[in-house]
A and B are shown apart, each in its own frame.
Chain A
Amino acid sequence: MAKRIIFALVAILFVVASAYASFYIAPEERTMGVIQRIFYFHVASAWAGFTAFFICFINNLLYIWKRAEKYDWLGVSCAEVGLVFTTVVLITGPIWAHPVWGIWWTWDARLTSTFVLWLLYVSYLLLRTLIEEPDRRALLSSLFGVFAFIDVPLVFGAIRWWRTQHPSPVIMGGQGSGLEPTMKMVFFFSVIAMHVFMAFLIVERYFLEKTRAEVDSLQREAEA
Chain B
Amino acid sequence: MKNLNSVFAAYLIGWGVFFLFYVTIVKRTADLRAEVERLKNSLARSKQPRLEQS
Q: Is the CB of A34 within 8 A of B32?
A: no
Rounded to whole angstroms, the CA-CA distance of A96 and B35 in the bound complex is 44
Q: Is the CB of A218 within 8 A of B17?
A: no
Interface size on A, residues (CB 8 A): 32
Q: Is the CB of A222 within 8 A of B43?
A: yes
Of residues 16 to 36 in B, which have CB atoms within 8 Å of A's CB atoms?
17-18, 21-22, 25-26, 28-29, 32-33, 35-36
Q: Is the CB of A84 within 8 A of B6?
A: no
Q: Is the CB of B3 within 8 A of A204?
A: no
Task: Tell whether A37 pairs with B7 under 8 Å between CB atoms, given A45-B14, A91-B13, A218-B43.
Answer: yes
Q: A: which residues have CB within 8 A of B?
A: 19, 33-35, 37-38, 41-42, 45, 84, 87-88, 91-92, 95-96, 98-99, 197, 201, 204-205, 207-208, 211-212, 214-215, 218-219, 221-222
Q: B: which residues have CB within 8 A of A?
A: 1-4, 6-7, 9-11, 13-14, 17-18, 21-22, 25-26, 28-29, 32-33, 35-36, 39-40, 42-43, 46
Q: How many A-B residue pairs have CB under 8 A?
A: 83
CB distance from B47 to the nearest CB of A (A): 10
Among B1, B25, B33, max chain A CB count under 10 A is at: B25
Secondary structure of the B contact surface, majority rule: helix
CB distance from A121 to the nearest CB of B (A): 14
